[in-house]
Amino acid sequence: MVLDQTLGGMASVIAVMLFFSTTTLSMRFFARHRQNNSFGIDDYLVIPAWFCLTGLCITAIYGMVRGFIGVSSPTDPDVYAPLVAPFITVYWAADFLSVLGLGLVRLSALFFYRRVFVVTRRWDAFGIITTIWIIIVTLWIIGFLLLEIFQCGPNVSEGFSGGASKVCLTVVYLEAFVISSFLLDFSVLVLPIPKIWSLNMKPSKKLAVSFVFLMAAAGAAASCVRLVYSLEIITLGVAVVSKDRFLADTVLYYFLVLELGLCLTAVNLPSLRYLFLGITPESALRSVRSMMSISSLRSNKSTTTSQKEKYESDTRSPTVELATVDTRNSHRTKRDGYEAELGQV
């Protein structure tokens, strides 16, 4: 992981993530405009998420300029001491922006699932599940933002002193954050897959749609790596893992930017199919639902017609049939009588 800990590696991931997230976000809104569709909650949520990623990158650049991100810790105490306060402040801001940005991206994904899959019945099983997860993610955002602010108790400024490890819940916060973040990424990622495979589509199309939604797996992978590395630091300590506090935290910052950037890019990709194929996930799934509805209507109509014919056949009155036969015989008798009279004349 030498590349991740260098100044050039950090600058590279910032440039790449900003480029892809900004490009896909712009193309998302352009595609929605071309479709003449109104913007939804899922569209609006990615805007503040992008600002969180931008803020995360700006604070990283500030840390690189000041000399505590992407570089080794100074061995001279006189050089190291002035960097402690801005170092803690930058990482506090990074955690805050990461919690808010990742939470908004997950909410955007959940509202997108509801816009695509929950159309006619708002309170079907999938609608209820997504509503529950929206509540969970919202509480996760609020809870971790409050824990970030008050991790050292009511005295918020104590968290920036750098020497309050005995009273602060920094380790508890970091451990809870990385574990819960990975679990939420994974759960939101796989949530729509059973719904997709329950649709009446060919397996190849199910795979194609699933692949579009699973593109966020890259963000979940970054979250998994950050989880493993963070737990390694918590268990073994910085001295064992990297022997350098600045470089160890640079790796954590690296994966913060990578996870948020990949998740933000992936959540914009399903809406971009319209620009390249003229097809959106909403229209494709709507067509499937329409075909299923038409097939169901035809089946119901055919069943109703056959039942109606059977009913009419079974309920036909024998008296009516006899009356019809008698009428025909009467007409035949009258015609024979007229012919006999004309013969006599």
CATH architecture of 7-279: Up-down Bundle (1.20)
Tens digit of pLDDT per residue, the chain (345 long)? Answer: 444 457 888 889 999 999 999 999 999 888 888 877 788 899 999 999 999 999 999 999 999 998 888 888 888 888 888 888 888 889 889 999 999 999 999 999 999 888 888 876 667 888 899 999 999 999 999 999 998 888 877 777 776 665 545 567 778 888 899 999 999 989 998 888 888 887 777 787 778 777 777 767 778 888 888 888 888 877 776 655 556 788 888 888 988 999 999 999 988 888 776 566 554 555 545 544 544 444 444 445 555 555 555 555 555 444 444 344 444 444 444 444 433 332 332
Domain positions in the chain: 7-279, 294-344
Q: How many residues does the chain have?
A: 345
3-class secondary-structure state, position 305: helix
Interatomic CA distance for residues 23 and 20, integer angstroms: 5
In 118-216, which ranges are continuous DSSP H helix? 125-149, 170-190, 193-197, 203-213
Interatomic CA distance for residues 108 and 337, integer angstroms: 91
